[in-house]
């Protein structure tokens, strides 16, 4: 949304309009987009029309991405692997704008193209270029709860041996909560929980309830005192970049 993408509410309203549904009769502001998307698939037989609409409306100009401080910071932080639940290509465009190589991973075939020298952009909930990969309707989410798809197996492998920073995930998303819990549970059962790499999650505003639950799962909550989520994230990433630059400079050999 920081570069003008529609909110999930806009998606809900579009599906309701196309299906001639009265939103107030199906939950109003509490309507669940996954359930409506499931109904959409049942009524129309496929998600092709919705995918096409989303692809048109989930795209922003290269100029907007180029001016996005958040996207610029993500690229400059040089993360080895980026997992995103977004379907759009804005991250890929940001890497292209800044002249950085990347490999997109949206299915099992893409996993074989991964190389250690290039940032991986893993489209965890699918990619517009592959309709079958999209995780959008309720059934799609339920099937992912088993966490045995190729991308789930890859995430477990990546997350077990690395420091993980979660950004932008809704803590009401049960898929994400279950994923975090299983990651903690795996380390706890291993008997080597004290050797687990640190994990963090950024939340725009402090939340003592979430902090307590996530701390139990071995995840440290980071936040900024800023009302606007986009501003909070930009401030956080800027501080992180400054700290990384300081550490890189101190580690560099004297000239």
Report which of 58, 59, 121, 119 is spatially closest to residue 84, judged by C-alpha positions. 121
193 Cβ neighbours under 8 A, 6+ residues apart: 187, 218
- Do the Cβ atoms of 91 and 121 come closer than 8 Å? yes
Q: How many CB atoms lie within 10 A of CB 45?
A: 9
In angstroms and rounded to an integer, the radius of gyration of the C-alpha atoms of the chain is 19
> Which pLDDT does position 255 carry in this prediction?
47
pTM of the model: 0.86
Looking at the DSSP bridge assignments, the partners of residue 84 are 123
Residues 204, 243: one domain? yes
Residues 20, 141: one domain? no
Residues 97, 169: one domain? yes
Residues 192, 214: one domain? yes
Backbone angles phi, psi at 39, to 5 degrees: -65, -40
Residues 82, 35: one domain? no
Range of the domain at 49: 8-57
> Which pLDDT does position 5 carry in this prediction?
78
Whether residue 2 is contained in a domain is answered as no
Residues 71, 49: one domain? no
Whether residue 171 is contained in a domain is answered as yes
- Do the Cβ atoms of 199 and 163 come closer than 8 Å? yes
The rounded distance, in Å, linking the Cα atoms of 31 and 110 is 35
Residues 76, 15: one domain? no
Whether residue 255 is contained in a domain is answered as no
Residues 28, 96: one domain? no
Residues 72, 179: one domain? yes
The rounded distance, in Å, linking the Cα atoms of 213 and 178 is 12
CA distances from 170 to 203, 212, 230 (A): 9, 16, 14
Residues 31, 114: one domain? no
DSSP letters spanning 228-255: SHHHHHHHHHHHHHHHHHHHHHHHSPP-
Residues 128, 17: one domain? no
**pLDDT by residue, tens only, the chain of 255 residues:** 777 777 778 888 899 999 999 888 887 777 788 899 999 999 999 888 988 888 888 778 899 999 999 999 999 999 999 999 888 899 999 999 999 999 999 988 898 889 888 999 999 988 888 878 888 898 988 887 777 888 888 988 898 889 999 997 766 677 778 888 888 898 889 989 889 999 999 988 778 888 898 888 889 999 888 888 889 999 999 999 999 999 988 887 754
Residues 161, 242: one domain? yes
Report which of 143, 112, 114 is spatially closest to residue 126, judged by C-alpha positions. 143
247 Cβ neighbours under 8 A, 6+ residues apart: none
Whether residue 147 is contained in a domain is answered as yes
Say how many domains are in the chain: 2
């Amino acid at each position: 949304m920081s570069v003008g993408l529609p909110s999930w509410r806009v998606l809900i309203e579009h599906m309701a309009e196309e299906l001639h549904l009265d939103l107030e009769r199906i939950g109003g502001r509490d309507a669940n987009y996954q359930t409506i998307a499931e109904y959409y698939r049942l009524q129309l037989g496929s998600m092709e029309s919705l995918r096409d609409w989303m692809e048109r409306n989930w795209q922003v100009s290269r100029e907007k991405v180029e001016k996005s401080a958040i996207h610029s910071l993500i690229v400059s932080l040089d993360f080895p692997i980026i997992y995103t639940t977004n379907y759009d290509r804005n991250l890929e465009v940001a890497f292209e704008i800044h002249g950085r190589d990347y490999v997109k991973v949206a299915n099992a075939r893409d996993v074989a193209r991964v190389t250690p020298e290039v940032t991986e952009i893993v489209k965890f909930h699918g990619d517009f270029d592959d309709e079958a990969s999209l995780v959008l309707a309720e059934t799609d989410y339920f099937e992912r709860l088993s966490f045995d798809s190729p991308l789930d197996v890859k995430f477990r492998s990546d997350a077990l041996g690395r420091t993980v920073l979660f950004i932008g995930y809704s803590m009401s998303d049960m898929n994400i909560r279950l994923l975090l819990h299983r990651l903690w549970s795996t380390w706890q059962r291993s008997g080597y929980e004290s050797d687990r790499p640190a994990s963090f999650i950024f939340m725009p505003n402090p939340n003592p309830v979430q902090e307590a639950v996530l701390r139990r799962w071995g995840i440290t909550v980071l936040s900024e005192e800023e009302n606007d989520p986009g501003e909070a994230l930009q401030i956080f990433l800027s501080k992180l970049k400054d700290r990384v630059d300081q550490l890189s400079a101190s580690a560099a050999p004297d000239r």
